[in-house]
Structure formats: C-alpha cells, structure tokens
Structure 1
C-alpha cells in the first residue's frame, strides 16, 4: 500500500533560539518528546518550514524538530543576508542539538536540505544516527549551471523565458550574479520583480506536472524576497565551500552512518546524476531512484519512499 502523510499535528513547543549576530532561529518540536530525535532540514536555502513537514514522521515514534534557517520563515531578521552562510547554518544546527540536550539524531533533508545535512554530518559525524536525503544537491558549479542555464531551461522553455524577462541581454550572460545584484540593490520595485521571477522559476520546475497553485503562491512577497535573496546570496558565493567537490571529497567521514537517498528520475532541479555520484562515493548508502517523479518531496512516489524509510528506521532503532 502506498504510504501517505501522517495526520496533522501541532507542536508541543515553539520558540526562537538566539544564535548570535542578531539572528533568532524559529524552532519547533512535535510528536513524542521522548521519541527518536529527527531534525527536518528544509530546502532553498531560504525556503522555510511548513506544518506539512511534521507529517513525514510517525508522531508516536519520533521527536520531530523543525527549524527555519537564518533569514527565512519565522526566523528573525527577515530576509537578512548578514552573517548568513552555510557554516553559520551548520553551527545553528549544532546549537539546536545542544539546546535540546540531544545526544544523536536523524538528519532528514532534501534539495538544499540535503546539502546542509551533508555539510553538518561531515562536520559532526558522531552526532548522526541516520541520514535520509532526497533530491541531492551537492552545490557544484555544474549543478548551478544546469538549473540556471540551458539544462532546466530546455525542459521548461516557457518558464525559462519568464525567468530571464527581468534581465537585460547583458545581464542574461550571468543570471545568478545579475539577480544577486538586483536583489541586493536599492531599487525596491525591481528587487520585488526579480524575487518573484526567481521564486516562480523554481516553483515552475519543482514537480513532474506543473502545479499552478504552487506557482502563484511563489509570488507572495513574504516568501519570494527571502527565498530569492538568500538563494542568490548562497549561489554567488558557492556556499562558502573550500572547493567545488568538497561534499563528495569528505564523504569518507560518513562511513559508519546508515544513509538513505531518494531521488526522482525526472528531477529537473537536481538531476539524478548527483544522487548517483553520491551513492558511488558512499557505497554503503541505499539509493532509490523513483521512476515517475520530479523534484518535490510531495510527489506521491517520493513521499511513499520517504515515509516508508522513516517507518523502517523507527522499527530498527532502539530509543530506550
């Protein structure tokens, strides 16, 4: 039987955690406070969390931890790029673990969430019970070139034209840099136009069959501004990695960590080659390529695989 989301639940605790440099991270806990700790690492960067994301996990078995990364969702200050790097977010995750007095936890992340999950795990491998990753993004230049270039643009040509529309012919030669310049500039009207175009582009490509409602939601300025600003900020700076292949280079640190990778075959944002290369670098990992699916965690067959994996981990984990 195909698995689906668990019923809606409310947090038993929600607060803001000060992590320094003026940032306060929104943090919530739901499910079983004495259960298996699992932290949900959202995408983007800049995407924020939603109540739906609590529902990947059996609330009777899991202590479910969601947080909004710096600058997005309910975290403060909104849309801030100051002191907002990959390594700040890695430090924030560790601060959350310490704050909640958790010894080890499962790290569950997709898309940019898989990037951040891997960076965190490579820095703190001893704190990881399991890694569950979806829609693998390794923050390499070739992946950025694919999505902000002729790769995804050749699959969604009409959406690609809309993405390029706010840019001049000269600006289109380096779209990520050009968008970053606009999104951090002083022209607030053009900034909003760019943020909406950037966010709509991603929403137009995230599912196997385009979801018009999701595309329209992406125009909401409260979502679009932090999402576009933070993504462009991270991608212009290549995530502040030491080298393009850093994540694959350091997978040897994860050798004793059980890892599950779920990947859509027709993922136009994060093509399956990255998941395949990650599996080759981590031969102990389980890779499931879902044949009829795009990028979204809510594609029916991807959802099934993720929830099935979490249920199996719960059965195998001694949380006494």
Structure 2
C-alpha cells in the first residue's frame, strides 16, 4: 500500500471580496491557487460553520483556481448568525451569483458534511455548471440522520459528552431536543442562548473525529462561532433542509448519474453515518464511494486527506 498523502501546504488567497446577495445579506469570498487553473468551489459545513483554511488545501494550487466563501450568517459574511433569508435555496442562488460574478462557466463542486448537502442541491438544479463532484461525509438532512445525532443513537457512543449536550434542556422537553434547542437559540435571553449554542456546538466538535482533538473542541465552544453554528444548523434542521419531503435529495441525485462523482466517507463517522453514502451510491451507481477504514467525520483525518488529494489530482485534467 502506498504511503498516505497529506493535504497540500497552507495557502493564502490571491484575491478576496464581498458580494451583496440580498437586501440583508453579504457574503465574503476568496480565490486561491492558480488564477488560470481549473475552477473549483469548495463548500463548507455546518450549516453555519464558515470556511476553514484547510478547505483551500485539498487541491493542487498549481492546477486549480480554488473558490471558497462563507455562507449566509457565518464566518466573515454579514449579518452574523442571521436566520432571515437563510435557506438552502438562498445558498444555491448565492453559488450561482458568485460563479457569474467571478466569470466562471463551469466548475468542480466539492463539499464536506453539510457542504455535501449543498453541493448536491446545487448540482440537481444547475447540473450544466458542474464538471464533477467530490463529496465528503455525506449528509442529506433526512429525519433519520437528524434523529441519530441529535436525539438518540450517537448518544450511546458518546454518553459522557451527551450529558453535556442535553444539560441546558429540562428533562420534560427532551422528547424533541432539536425543537427545545431552537426555542432557546431563537429566544430573547442572551445567557440562555449562549449556553444552548455552546452545548450544541461543542457536542459536534467533540464527536467529529475518530480520536479527540481538544483544540478543535475549544474552537467550537467559542461564543461567536457557536452562536452562528448552533442557530443556523438548528434553523435548517427544524425546517428539514427546506426540501419538499424527507429523502428528496437522495431521490433527486439520480439526475446526476452522468456526472463524475467521488464520495469519501469515514467508516466510523458518528456525525453522519455511512448509511447515507450507501443510499446515495444506490441513487448514483456510477459514482465512486471511498470508505476510509480508520476515520470519522473530520476532513483533516489522515485517510480522508489522502483520498481528497488523490481524487482532486485525478480530476485536475477533466472538464
């Protein structure tokens, strides 16, 4: 077996900017790598997570023009943690606005976790603009997926961390934890909102990878990050991703069978279990599914890094 590869070295953007996408929202974007390279848009997770520097490192900077942006309400986009005018379809429209703004005809679409959801939603509505897709930690906001991580399932694997997660919610309200958190995250008491946001966000930060990463967990607990992450995630989950019905995105993925698609998923992904990737593989039989035997959900795990750079290198000459 060949030695595992790491992501490409850290890189700074060669251009940044802001784009007004509605009367309320403005998004921050960045371009990295080669201005004349193959275009790719990399979609961050959450929703509400904001772009991380490592998202610029999954592609060869000599061969790719890498576009990243902070989705509505998070990262450097404004207004912060705003829920109004913040839906999946608003974000899909933002991707198209950004593509046009940057003068790109077609591009590779890459997304991890919620980014994979958004990538699929974009592709099923704008397939003609997609050269290929690379999806990591597959997630489609089905009720079963939400229930697993936020109601019962992952709770049995991380029972100690689960107790910290549910602590802000009185026992009488724990029959629907997402709804209980939503009431607090959208309420008027700033202390209640802060405590709920931190519990929600740290639960995710503590369970992302096969092995613990204390620095990441601490970052997920910081007030500003946690507020956007928890409020926006919960908003999307209460509204089931703003999709017409449960399972809609998997059904629609059948339309993408003509596109080159690679899916990368950790065997021990507790946040978004492998089941979803297998269902998407059934919907897109020609897609490649890479199951990483010693990884969880995090895009920085060694096996996932290796699969990402090998996949994007292979796609560098296409489209």
Tell me, yes or no, if structure 1 residue 92 matches structure 2 residue 97: no
Q: Which position in structure 2 is the counterpart of 1:198?
A: 200
Distance 1:252 1:240 in 2: 19
In the TM superposition, what is the alpha-carbon distance from 1:273 to its structure 2 partner? Answer: 0.7
Q: Is the 8 A contact 2:200 2:230 kept in 1?
A: yes
Q: Which position in structure 2 is the counterpart of 1:254?
A: 256
TM-score (norm 1): 0.98
Q: Which position in structure 2 is the counterpart of 1:317?
A: 318
Distance 2:301 2:294 in 1: 9
Q: Is the 8 A contact 1:4 1:307 kept in 2?
A: yes
Show CA shifts across 1:53-99 (max 9, x none). 11111110000000000000000101100100000000000111111
Q: Is the 8 A contact 2:8 2:59 kept in 1?
A: yes
**Structure 1 unmatched ranges of 5 or more:** none
RMSD, matched Cα: 0.8
Q: Which position in structure 1 is the counterpart of 2:118?
A: 116
Show CA shifts across 1:122-172 (max 9, x none). 000110000000101011000000001221111000011100000001221
Distance 1:9 1:167 in 2: 42
Q: Is the 8 A contact 1:152 1:269 kept in 2?
A: yes
Q: Is the 8 A contact 1:21 1:83 kept in 2?
A: no
Q: Which position in structure 2 is the counterpart of 1:7?
A: 9
In the TM superposition, what is the alpha-carbon distance from 1:210 to its structure 2 partner? Answer: 1.5
2:65 to 63, 66, 77: 63
TM-score (norm 2): 0.98
**Structure 2 unmatched ranges of 5 or more:** none
Distance 1:255 1:127 in 2: 15
Distance 2:57 2:251 in 1: 33
Show CA shifts across 1:25-53 (max 9, x none). 00000111111001010000000002221
Q: How many residues align?
A: 317
Q: Which position in structure 2 is the counterpart of 1:75?
A: 77
Distance 2:310 2:173 in 1: 45
Distance 1:64 1:304 in 2: 18
Distance 1:218 1:51 in 2: 15
Q: Is the 8 A contact 2:27 2:69 kept in 1?
A: yes
Tell me, yes or no, if structure 1 residue 222 matches structure 2 residue 224: yes
Q: Which position in structure 1 is the counterpart of 2:309?
A: 307
In the TM superposition, what is the alpha-carbon distance from 1:189 to its structure 2 partner? Answer: 0.4
Distance 2:60 2:141 in 1: 31
Q: Is the 8 A contact 2:262 2:288 kept in 1?
A: yes
Distance 2:216 2:250 in 1: 32
In the TM superposition, what is the alpha-carbon distance from 1:232 to its structure 2 partner? Answer: 0.5
Distance 1:9 1:155 in 2: 36
1:1-320 pair list within 5 angstroms: 1-314=3-316, 316-317=317-318
Distance 1:194 1:229 in 2: 9
In the TM superposition, what is the alpha-carbon distance from 1:8 to its structure 2 partner? Answer: 1.8
Show CA shifts across 1:196-246 (max 9, x none). 000000011100011122111211111000000000000001111001011
In the TM superposition, what is the alpha-carbon distance from 1:173 to its structure 2 partner? Answer: 1.1
Instruction: Determine helix, strand or coil for the equivalent of 1:150.
Output: coil
Mean CA deviation greater in 115-124 or 17-26 = 17-26
Show CA shifts across 1:285-312 (max 9, x none). 0001011100001110011001110011
